[in-house]
Amino acid sequence: MSDTARYLVSRFVTTLLIVLGAMLLLFTLSAIVPGDPATALLGPQATAEYAKRFIAEMGLDQPWYRRLPTFLGHVLTGNLGTDVLSGRPVAGIVGAVLPYTFILTFASIGLAVVIGVPLGCYAATHRGSALDHALAFISVAFIAIPSFVIAIFLLLIFSIWLDWLPVLGAGQPGDWLDQAKRLILPTTALSVGWIGFIARLMRSSMLEVMGENYIRTARAYGLSDRMVTYKYALKNACIPTIAVLGMGIGRLLGGAVLVEIVFARPGLGRLIFDAIATRNFPVLQGAVLVVVLIFVVTNLLVDLSYSAIDPRIRRDGAPQAAGQ
């Protein structure tokens, strides 16, 4: 078996174990957490017999250790279960909000990279300058301010005072311009913190790389500063940033709840949040499984990208010294 094949198999097994572990944790917690789903979902109107039937339809009359294998068995056939309240398949519910989550997550991370990486590079190559100090201050401020606070300010400025951008939702289906307009503010709100974070990370990575022997060697060969910085230093300095981006994507997939609530946008984060609040376990299980899977796959892609960027990094993940 080749190194690549062995590596992929091991990652696949790891992925399965992570998914299994996450679901095991979720099912255990759902058994411990107080609150009756029938009460939370149906309210005072529900009769005792209806509530009992409802619980049975959700499968919650069974212990979690019986529900987990049943759930995983259904997952293998592509069935994430059914939302007992609406009668709709969970896969359909998750599928309906997933595109909004993907668009928002990747747009936010994309914007953060486009702005944060150049800012970090600039700060590193102009270390100690006024702009470096200003960027340090702005970056920390960006990281410190919660995204939902930024979201509210953006709405007040751009939607209420200036009346340039809309407040609500994700736009009309099929109307790309409307959807793009409604993406601007949520994307900005989510990416601001990441811009600051990536800029700081990039700066420190660049400074570290710039002190490496091979950079000094490149300079000794008479290569221009621009060539040294952007061809040799930047590529290697990007690796920690890429690792962080992998984690960031995972976090944003399920963690953009507050921004989604402020902009009344559909999304996986909101779906999970509502499912927890109403103890809607079938929806919660399905949505969490999808988030875990995307998270694991994203990080796998990130790992694979390391070796493409830096041949010194072998597939076993251990960086090896140049020349070995």
Partner 1 sequence: MQNDLELSVSRRAFVAGSVAATAGPLLGAMPALAQAKTSIAVRIERDITVLDPAFRGGPHDANVIRCVYQRLIKQKDSSVETELDAAAELKQVSPTLIEFTLKPGQMFTDGFGEMTAEDVKFSFERFAVAPVDGKISPYKGDWTGLTGVEVTGTYTGKINLSQPNAGLLAIAIADASGCIVSKKAVMARGVEHNTKPVGSGPYQVVSVEKQRGAVLKRNPTYSGAKPTFEEIKVNFIQDPKTAELALRSGELDFAVLPPSVAEPMRSAQGIVVDQSPGLAYVWLGINMEKPPFTDLRVRQAVRLALDVDQMLLAGFNGKAPRLNTLIMQPILGAWTEAPVYKRNVVEAKKLLAEAGQTAIKTRITILNQPAYQTMALVAQALLKEVGITAELDVQEGGTYWDAGKGEAGKNLDLFMMRFNGKLDPNFLMQWFVSSQIGTWNWQRFNSPEFDRLYQEAIVESDPAKRAAIVIKAQQEMDKSAAFVWLTNDVAFAVRRASVKPAYLPGAIDWQLDRFTSV
Summarize as ranges the residues that interact with partner 1 (CB under 8 A): 33-36, 39-50, 53, 85-88, 93, 96-97, 152, 155-156, 159-160, 163, 166-170, 261-267, 270-271, 274, 276-279
- DSSP class per residue in 244-274: HHHHHHHHHHHH-HHHHHHTT---HHHHHHH
Is the CB of 69 or the CB of 146 nearer to partner 1?
146
Q: Closest distance between partner 1 and the C-beta of residue 276, in Å?
A: 7
Assigned token pair, 316: 């076993």
Is the CB of 41 or the CB of 195 nearer to partner 1?
41
Is the CB of 37 or the CB of 120 nearer to partner 1?
37
Q: Closest distance between partner 1 and the C-beta of residue 50, in Å?
A: 5
Q: Closest distance between partner 1 and the C-beta of residue 167, in Å?
A: 5
Q: Closest distance between partner 1 and the C-beta of residue 188, in Å?
A: 16
Q: Closest distance between partner 1 and the C-beta of residue 97, in Å?
A: 6
Is the CB of 34 or the CB of 222 nearer to partner 1?
34
Q: Closest distance between partner 1 and the C-beta of residue 304, in Å?
A: 33
29 residue type, one letter: L
Assigned token pair, 303: 């790992």
Q: Closest distance between partner 1 and the C-beta of residue 146, in Å?
A: 14
Question: Cα 65 from chain centroid?
Answer: 29
Is the CB of 26 or the CB of 218 nearer to partner 1?
26
Is the CB of 97 or the CB of 239 nearer to partner 1?
97
Assigned token pair, 313: 């990094």
140-165 burial: b if 16+ Cβ within 10 Å, else e: eebeeeebbebbeebbeebbeeeeeb
Is the CB of 96 or the CB of 144 nearer to partner 1?
96
Q: Closest distance between partner 1 and the C-beta of residue 36, in Å?
A: 5
Tokens 């793009």 belong to: 180
- DSSP class per residue in 169-219: SS--TT-HHHHHHHHHHHHHHHHHHHHHHHHHHHHHHHHHHHTSHHHHHHH
CB 189 within 8 Å of CB 261: no
Q: What is the DSSP letter of 79?
A: -
Rounded Cα distance, 181 and 166, in Å: 7
Is the CB of 64 or the CB of 263 nearer to partner 1?
263
Nearest to 279 by CA among 80, 53, 21, 42: 42
